[in-house]
């Protein structure tokens, strides 16, 4: 049989756990609503009114900016690397060659086969794509439709506040 103190402690813990789970759910809902409003609803209203920055009477500044996110689908890395090479972005491809340690010295002299692994610097890829799309500097070289399937390119407008 449980002591009253232990029973009360367990009851309190279960109540606090329920409160925490409820608070986490409310946070998720509030965050989703905030993101929807700041990324969809308010940017649409601002665009319809031809406004990209506004200052409220109490000095709060709301600016609409375009956010860009880029990542590469690992299963399509070869396709992405080929596309980058054809479009002047070969410098973004990070190549690594793996060889057994005991033959590393002989690699260049003996032509030892090795495995190549590749990766792409996605921070630089984002800048590269924005330049290619003409969104940062220079003319537009490609359209969003020409970005290969293996590059996940996502842009959205978002309103942020500053005081």
- 119 plus 74 within the same structural domain: yes
pLDDT single digits (tens) 85-118: 999 999 999 887 776 666 666 675 677 666 667 7
The pLDDT of residue 137? 80
- 143's CB contacts (< 8 A; 6+ apart) are 133
> Mapping DSSP to helix (H, G, I), strand (E, B) and coil, where does residue 78 land?
helix
Q: How far apart are CA 134 and CA 146, in angstroms?
A: 13
- 157 plus 78 within the same structural domain: yes
pLDDT band for position 37 (cuts 50, 70, 90): very high
Do 52 and 159 form a contact (C-beta atoms < 8 A)?
no
pLDDT (mean) for 42-68: 93
- 119 plus 152 within the same structural domain: yes
Q: What percent of the chain has pLDDT over 90?
A: 71
Residue 33 domain boundaries? 1-51
Domain boundary among 11, 35, 51: 51
- 6 plus 47 within the same structural domain: yes
- 30 plus 79 within the same structural domain: no
The pLDDT of residue 112? 66
Do 92 and 128 form a contact (C-beta atoms < 8 A)?
yes
């Amino acid at each position: 049989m449980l002591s009253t103190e232990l029973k009360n402690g367990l009851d309190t813990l279960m109540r606090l756990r329920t409160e925490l789970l409820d608070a986490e759910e409310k946070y998720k809902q509030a965050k989703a609503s905030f993101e929807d409003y700041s990324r969809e609803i308010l940017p649409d209203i601002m665009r319809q009114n031809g406004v990209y920055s506004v200052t409220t009477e109490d000095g709060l500044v709301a600016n609409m900016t375009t956010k860009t996110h880029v990542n590469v689908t690992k299963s399509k890395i070869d396709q992405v690397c080929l596309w980058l090479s054809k479009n002047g972005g070969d410098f973004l491809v990070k190549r690594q060659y793996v060889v057994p340690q005991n033959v590393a010295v002989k690699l260049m002299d003996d032509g030892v086969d090795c495995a190549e692994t590749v990766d792409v610097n996605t921070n630089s890829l984002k800048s590269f794509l924005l330049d290619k799309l003409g969104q940062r500097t220079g003319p537009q070289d490609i359209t969003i439709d020409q970005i290969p399937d293996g590059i996940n390119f996502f842009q959205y407008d978002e309103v942020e506040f500053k005081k």
